Amino acid sequence: MITPLGNRLVYPFVYLTKQKGDNCLFYRFAIMTFDRKELSNEQLIDLYKKLLWPRMIEDKMLVLLRQGKISKWFSGIGQEAISVGATSALQEDEWIMPLHRNLGVFTTRNMPLNQLFKQWQGAQEGYSKGRERSFHFGNKEHHICGMISHLGPQLAIADGVALAYKLRKEKKVALAFTGDGGTSEGDFHEAVNVAAVWDLPVIFIIENNGYGLSTPVNEQYRCISLVDKAKGYGMEGVAIDGNNILSVYDTIKGVRDYCIRHQKPYLIECLTFRMRGHEEASGTKYVPQDLFRLWEQKDPIKNYERYLIEAGVINEMKVADIRNEFKEKIESELAIGFDTKPVVADTEEELEDVYARTEVRGQKPGVRIVDNSASNSDIGHPTSDLRLIDAISQGLKQSMQQHTNLILMGQDIAEYGGAFKITEGFVQEFGKERVRNTPLCESAIVGTALGLSLEGYKSMMEMQFADFVTVGFNQIVNNLAKIHYRWGQNADVVIRMPTGGGVGAGPFHSQSNEAWFTKVPGLKVVYPSTPIDAKGLLIAAINDPNPVMYFEHKALYRSVSGPVPEDYYEIEIGKARHVREGDEVSIITYGAGVHWAEDYAAEHPEISIDILDLRTLAPLDYLSIRGAVQRTGRVLILHEDSLIGGIGGEIAAWIAENCFAILDAPVMRCASLDTPVPFSIELEQNFLAKSRLDEAVQKLISY
């Protein structure tokens, strides 16, 4: 029975003790009791059916696994009450972020079983077109967000969804699952902390089943109960019997009302047990057999079924009828699900599905496309002379005016205006709901941005320095980048990356790390060098439904100026700019390298230098790269990034493979040293590629 205590819900049965003779925590419970509250007989039976349905599906899946008809399975047997109870307590259009053992979420949301069977066997007719396995998929129609193998990042996505609900003043909650092992990850701390600080209506459920794969909970944490963590974040929490369907349903229904009424998050620890291995191949030899005997007595289905029979809600004949009905339905759905076509790989479709489709160029309402890709292009329209930093700020401000669903997030970006003052004054014009200071938690804010995207919002996150992206790397490369390819969900997110050296900021504030992200399918990588491109490419990035890494060079912020159209316009992502015409040597570059190349060309009028500014590093403009090769036959690739692993190596390889016949010399590279960026100005100047540009050009010309 759940009893109120202040604002907390207390379930009075549970305490933990160390079991003698083994290395495992052991739960001791009072006898499981059920309290139907105001539920009708029909509602009680409906919960029984929802609880039994995933169990019977799993029983069949284990048979299919032994027969070799599926390759892998993560069993939730013994934990069904949590998934079913939680999902039943929510509205159907409230987002849930499930994990491996939450089959009951998918079945309670009435996802067609034949379609699930197709998914589990890797058929192209499944939800992920054969690109994902088991429960690593989602579906917008059913408001289920697909997990990734890293267990913590799901939690922050719930923050973003809940923020969308809060901004629209909708009476909804987001719900995310994690396990006892997942609470050890930094993503757990970050997501729970953000939800608490921002007062977001999120329900965090910890499924504490005693083990993270084979690691027992006493090797995962030292607090007596995981729900005690809630206090440290200034939020409420409760530990409940996760095997009691009525307790789970009633608790989450009440917690949902609390979260909506108070606009606050809530942490629920559901105590349960995994009756099978982490996945079937891992086995359960590490689990003391006494625990299986104990938890068998607490089986969520057997106990609830017994209660319904004893209460006269249902009889054994009705139970048998339901089971027979389900058995027949499983077989019929299985016949449909296994009647699939062989997987046929279509390379063009595979590549197309990496990105969400963008609107056709020139057909976007309310936005002008500026084509300044040629060295002698006329940009037209009234212009103002702006510094690069002012052009970025103007593009961001006009985007905020254009898109009322655009949310800005970052450390110190509100009243302070950001580390570089790009958002100075924004909070006065757009308010703190849309211009949001964040805690120091890059991973959670990237996840929050993705969650906003699930609900149709656009977001811009400012990494205070590009160097700090490492602590948000997982969310970017595994969640943002892959989500459209995996199950067709776009990630409408721009991450601004103040980058580059030349300002004496040392190894943790000066790195050029753009090449890390060009390797990741699903990300677009933009790197402007001029004010006109900085504004136009930022607007294009915000309009693009795909995740865009937008690099902006700190040393260029206030040192580079130029004419910038005053209106709202785009520069096309994926199209390079021909900066300067020449016929002796082509310098292909981007960012600060463009200005190094222009300065060098001005200092050496005796050399006819052709300059191509890539502007976009993913996708690359191969047509323009080929044009640069054709114009001179001699190519130098210049970038501030270090040599090894820089994008110059990839471009050089492409030229060698595709333009060999029009080359007059080997493709050469000029890059920074393969060292961290030093602090001393003298050492930094020696580090930068600029110091070796003359040597590289002379070597190429004299070849």
Contact partners, residue 603, CB within 8 Å, separation at least 6 = none
The residue from 570, 586, 611 where one domain ends is 570
Distance from C-alpha of 223 to C-alpha of 230, rounded to nearest angstrom: 12
Residue 343 lies in a domain: no
CB 97 within 8 A of CB 457: no
Reference 74, options 277, 329, 239; nearest CA is 277
DSSP state of 675: S
List the CATH number of the domain containing 632: 3.40.50.920
* DSSP per residue, 18-66: EPTTSS-EEEE-PPP----TT--HHHHHHHHHHHHHHHHHHHHHHHHHH
- β pairing state of 8-10 and 3-5: antiparallel
- How far does CA 407 lie from the centroid of its chain? 16
**Residue 289: pLDDT band by 50, 70, 90 thresholds?**
confident
Residue 642 DSSP one-character state: E
CA distance 556 to 499: 10
pLDDT at 167: 98
What would the DSSP string read from start to end of 183-247?
A: GGSHHHHHHHHHHHHTT--EEEEEEE-SEETTEEGGGT--SS-GGGHHHHTT-EEEEEETT-HHH
Report the CATH number at residue 471: 3.40.50.970
Alpha carbon distance 228, 249 (integer Å):
21
Determine the pLDDT at residue 549.
98
Residue 302 tokens, joined: 């057997």
Token match 């047990």: residue? 273
Q: For 100-134, write each residue's pLDDT tens digit.
A: 889 999 999 999 999 999 999 889 999 999 998 78
pLDDT score at 281: 74
Average pLDDT value for the chain: 92
430 and 496 share a domain?
yes
Q: Which residues contact 660 (CB under 8 A, 6 or more apart)?
A: none
Q: Examine the domain organization and report whether 245 and 380 are in the same domain.
A: no
Confidence of residue 7 (pLDDT cuts 50, 70, 90): very low
> Rounded mean pLDDT of 258-271?
97
* Residue 590 and residue 666 in one domain: yes
**H helices within 218-367, ranges in order?**
229-232, 245-262, 289-296, 300-310, 316-337, 347-352
For the residues 554-562, what does the mean pLDDT come to?
97
Provide the pLDDT for residue 143.
Answer: 97
- Of 115-119, 150-154, 469-473, 636-640, the range with the lowest mean pLDDT is 150-154
Asked if 132 and 223 sit in the same domain, the reply is: yes
Structure tokens that stand for 601 in this block: 């060309």
According to the model, what pLDDT value does residue 361 have?
Answer: 54
Query: What does residue 207 show for φ and ψ, rounded to 5 degrees?
Result: -90, 95
- pLDDT at residue 251, rounded to an integer: 97
Element (H, E) at 579: strand 577-580
| Those residues with Cβ within 8 angstroms of residue 46's Cβ, 6 or more apart along the chain or in another chain | none
> Is 356 within a domain?
no
Q: Are residues 553 and 622 in the same domain?
A: no
Confidence band of 222 (pLDDT split at 50, 70, 90)? confident
Selected residue with higher pLDDT from 564 and 285: 564
User: From CA 228, how far away is CA 553, in angstroms rounded?
Assistant: 44
Length of the chain: 703
Report CA-CA distances (Å) from 323 to 61, 100, 110, 391.
16, 25, 18, 66
Domain count, the chain: 3
Residue 346 in any domain: the answer is no
589 domain residue, yes or no:
yes
pLDDT at 32: 86
pLDDT at 271 exceeding the cut of 90: yes
**Whole-angstrom Cα distance, residue 99 to residue 448?**
18
315 and 419 assigned to the same domain: no
Q: pLDDT at position 363, please?
A: 57
**Does 364 have pLDDT greater than 70?**
no
- Residues 64-98 have pLDDT tens digits of 888 888 877 888 889 999 999 999 999 999 999 99
In a domain, 362, yes or no: no
Residues 482 and 587 reside in one and the same domain = no
The boundaries of the domain holding residue 408 are: 368-570
Compare 69 and 425 and report the one with higher pLDDT.
425
For 451, the enclosing helix (H) or strand (E) is: helix 442-454
Q: Which of 321, 260, 275 is closest to 45 using CA atoms?
A: 321
Give the pLDDT of residue 100. Answer: 87
| In the predicted structure, residue 362 carries a pLDDT above the cut 80 | no
Q: Would you say residue 639 lies in a domain?
A: yes
Q: Is residue 509 annotated as part of the catalytic site, yes or no? A: yes
DSSP 87-137: HHHS-TTS-EE--TT-HHHHHHTT--HHHHHHHHTT-TTSTTTTSS-TT--
Please return the burial class of 253, using the count of CB atoms within 10 Å of its CB with bins 0-12, 13-18 and 19+: middle
The verdict on residue 348 lying in a domain is no
Last residue in a domain, options 552, 570, 588: 570
Same domain, 290 and 173: yes
* Mean pLDDT computed over 303-319: 96
Residues 285 and 208 in one domain: yes
Among 39-48, 116-125, 163-172, 484-493, whose mean pLDDT is lowest?
116-125
Looking at residue 26, its pLDDT comes to 43
Rounded to an integer, the average pLDDT of 586-601 is: 98
CA–CA distance, 36 with 571 (Å, rounded to integer): 61
Does the pTM of the predicted model rise above 0.85?
Answer: yes
Q: Specify whether 587 is located in the same domain as 566.
A: no
What are the tens digits of pLDDT across the range 462-520? Answer: 999 999 999 999 999 999 999 999 999 999 999 999 999 999 999 999 999 999 999 99
594 and 551 in a common domain:
no
Q: Which of 570, 593, 614 is the last residue of a domain?
A: 570
CA-wise closest residue to 547 among 519, 525, 514: 525
Domain presence at residue 637: yes
Q: Are residue 610 and residue 544 in the same domain, yes or no?
A: no
Catalytic residue from among 143, 509, 578, 639: 509
pLDDT in tens, 692-703: 999 999 999 999
* 430 has pLDDT over 80: yes
Q: How confident is the model at residue 30 (pLDDT cuts 50, 70, 90)?
A: low
CA distance 350 to 343: 13
Strands 609-613 and 585-589, sheet pairing: parallel
